[in-house]
Amino acid sequence: AQRVTQPEKLLSVFKGAPVELKCNYSYSGSPELFWYVQYSRQRLQLLLRHISRESIKGFTADLNKGETSFHLKKPFAQEEDSAMYYCALTSGGYQKVTFGTGTKLQVIP
């Protein structure tokens, strides 16, 4: 069975401070991992995926297969980063999606 764990329900940081949102996964095969973001009163949207290895809005995430982690990082938090963040995993030939429970990021001005 596949599982995604986001240990923090709420993460509060000051503006300009580094941010790290934790995501650990459990899956026996080769997973594809994603971060989704939901800003207040907006739709859930893809932030980034590990395959593309891109940096979106200053956020990066590295897949660490040894630690089965896919933590989301940003060196300097901005107020507009305040949102709900979900880590997700898809797997297998017939893909299923498993989401973590989400972490609410609150950036304090």
Partner 1 sequence: KAGVTQTPRYLIKTRGQQVTLSCSPISGHRSVSWYQQTPGQGLQFLFEYFSETQRNKGNFPGRFSGRQFSNSRSEMNVSTLELGDSALYLCASSLGPLGQETQYFGPGTRLLVL
Among 12, 26, 45, 106, binds partner 1 (CB under 8 A): 45
95 scored as a contact of partner 1 (CB under 8 A):
yes
Size of the site for partner 1 (CB under 8 A): 18
Is there binding between residue 78 and partner 1 (CB under 8 A)? no
Q: Measured between alpha carbons, how far is residue 96 from residues 13, 72, 83, 91 in Å?
A: 33, 22, 25, 6
- Give the C-alpha separation, 69 to 77, whole Å: 21
What is the smallest separation between the CB atom of 91 and partner 1, expressed in angstroms? 8
In this structure, the number of other CB atoms found within 10 A of the CB of residue 51 comes to 10
State the residues that interact with partner 1 by CB under 8 A.
32, 43-46, 49, 86, 88, 90, 94-102
